[in-house]
């Protein structure tokens, strides 16, 4: 199969444990684009949290794309044009905040260039702030402060509590949202019918590429949909066991040892 598109998750996939892109990985991705193969980044991060990685991989030079908020927003990274987006209904963030407080979870949403915490900041929010490269603001009156479109919310907490509460939130909000873990301490909330696979369908129509000709690489729960959707779904050696079970291929090298370079060498 002559694959025409490589789709990369960020954390635990194209970046190492220190959130850095290794030199061999960067060179392999850039060389792939020089050969005319499209590359896209699909991440749970907000756009600002993706930009530095996209720049390092030179997606702007080759006119390639980023899929932020697990696919709720697709951006042409060369022109910075938003070509697709799906927002949460305005009532959802406020209701989520109430339920998060009841369950002892943290809550934040994403502003234009900042994170807005609706509960007292916790270490997991600070981690998201660092990963997203966006400052964290605490707001005691969320209803009065949200004057921007909301593409996603994040519930934070101890991984054990997150795992216990996930089914409850999925059950309550199943008609209006998609809820899933991106990390053991993060419960992502986006609009209904938004996931990485769903948004990839839009991108493939733009690029004129059938799904059989794409390779998707990931390591975590929110990568499952695109791994199943892809012509070739790749799980990283360091990935969640559930993801490895459904992947077509599991890398020998993990994200600390250029697993993505391995994928490019083997399949492209």
Which pLDDT tens digit goes with each residue over 85-117?
999 998 999 999 999 999 999 999 998 889 999
**For the chain, what is the mean pLDDT?**
95
Query: Do 226 and 239 fall within a single domain?
Result: yes
Residues 6 and 264 sit within 8 Å (Cβ to Cβ): yes
CATH of the domain at 107: 3.30.1240.10
Query: Do 111 and 172 fall within a single domain?
Result: yes
Q: Could you count the other beta carbons within 10 Å of the beta carbon of residue 212? A: 11
Q: Which of 137, 167, 191 is the last residue of a domain?
A: 191
Query: Do 115 and 137 fall within a single domain?
Result: yes
Site of tokens 């409850």: 168
Using DSSP, how many helices (H) and how many strands (E) does the chain show? 10, 14
Query: Do 107 and 184 fall within a single domain?
Result: yes
Residue 154's pLDDT band (cuts 50, 70, 90): very high
Choose among 52, 146, 27, 133: nearest CA to 96: 146
Query: Do 181 and 116 fall within a single domain?
Result: yes
What are the start-end ranges of the H helices in 193-240? 196-207, 224-229
Q: What is the pLDDT of residue 72?
A: 95
Query: Do 78 and 164 fall within a single domain?
Result: no
Query: Do 198 and 217 fall within a single domain?
Result: yes
Q: Which of 168, 191, 214 is the last residue of a domain?
A: 191
Mean pLDDT computed over 66-82: 96
Query: Do 103 and 182 fall within a single domain?
Result: yes
Measured between its terminal Cα atoms, the distance across the chain in Å is 9
pTM, full prediction: 0.90
Query: Do 174 and 222 fall within a single domain?
Result: no
Q: Which of 191, 206, 235 is the last residue of a domain?
A: 191
Query: Do 78 and 210 fall within a single domain?
Result: yes
Which pLDDT tens digit goes with each residue over 201-237?
999 999 999 999 999 999 999 999 999 999 999 999 9
Query: Do 13 and 43 fall within a single domain?
Result: yes
Residue 148 belongs to domain spanning: 91-191
Assess whether pLDDT exceeds 90 at residue 1: no
Residues 129 and 154 sit within 8 Å (Cβ to Cβ): no
Give percent of the chain above pLDDT 90. Answer: 89
Assess whether pLDDT exceeds 90 at residue 133: no
State the Rg of the chain over Cα: 18
Query: Do 170 and 185 fall within a single domain?
Result: yes
CATH of the domain at 46: 3.40.50.1000
Structural domains counted in the chain = 2
Which pLDDT tens digit goes with each residue over 38-55?
999 999 999 999 999 999
């Amino acid at each position: 199969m002559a694959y025409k598109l490589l789709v990369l998750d960020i954390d635990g996939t194209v970046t190492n444990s220190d959130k850095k892109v290794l030199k061999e990985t960067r060179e392999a991705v850039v060389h792939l684009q020089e050969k005319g193969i499209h590359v896209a980044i699909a991440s749970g991060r907000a756009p600002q949290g993706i930009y530095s990685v996209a720049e390092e991989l030179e997606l702007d030079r080759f006119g390639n794309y980023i899929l932020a908020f697990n696919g709720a927003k697709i951006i042409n990274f060369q022109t910075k044009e938003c070509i697709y987006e799906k927002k949460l209904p305005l009532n959802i963030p406020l209701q989520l905040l109430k339920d998060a407080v009841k369950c002892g979870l943290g809550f934040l949403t994403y502003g234009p260039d900042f994170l807005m915490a609706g509960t007292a900041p916790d270490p997991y929010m600070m981690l998201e702030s660092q990963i997203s490269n966006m400052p964290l603001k605490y707001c005691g009156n969320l209803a009065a402060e949200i004057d921007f479109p909301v593409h996603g919310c994040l519930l934070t907490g101890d991984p054990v509590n997150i795992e216990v509460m996930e089914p409850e939130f999925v059950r309550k909000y199943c008609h209006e949202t998609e809820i899933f873990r991106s990390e053991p301490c993060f419960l992502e909330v986006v609009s209904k019918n938004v996931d990485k696979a769903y948004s990839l369908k839009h991108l493939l129509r733009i690029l004129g590429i059938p799904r059989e000709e794409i390779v998707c690489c990931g390591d975590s729960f929110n990568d499952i949909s695109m791994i199943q959707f892809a012509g070739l779904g790749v799980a990283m050696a360091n990935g969640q066991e559930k993801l490895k079970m459904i992947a077509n291929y599991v890398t020998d090298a993990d994200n600390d040892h250029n697993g993505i370079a391995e994928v490019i060498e083997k399949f492209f």
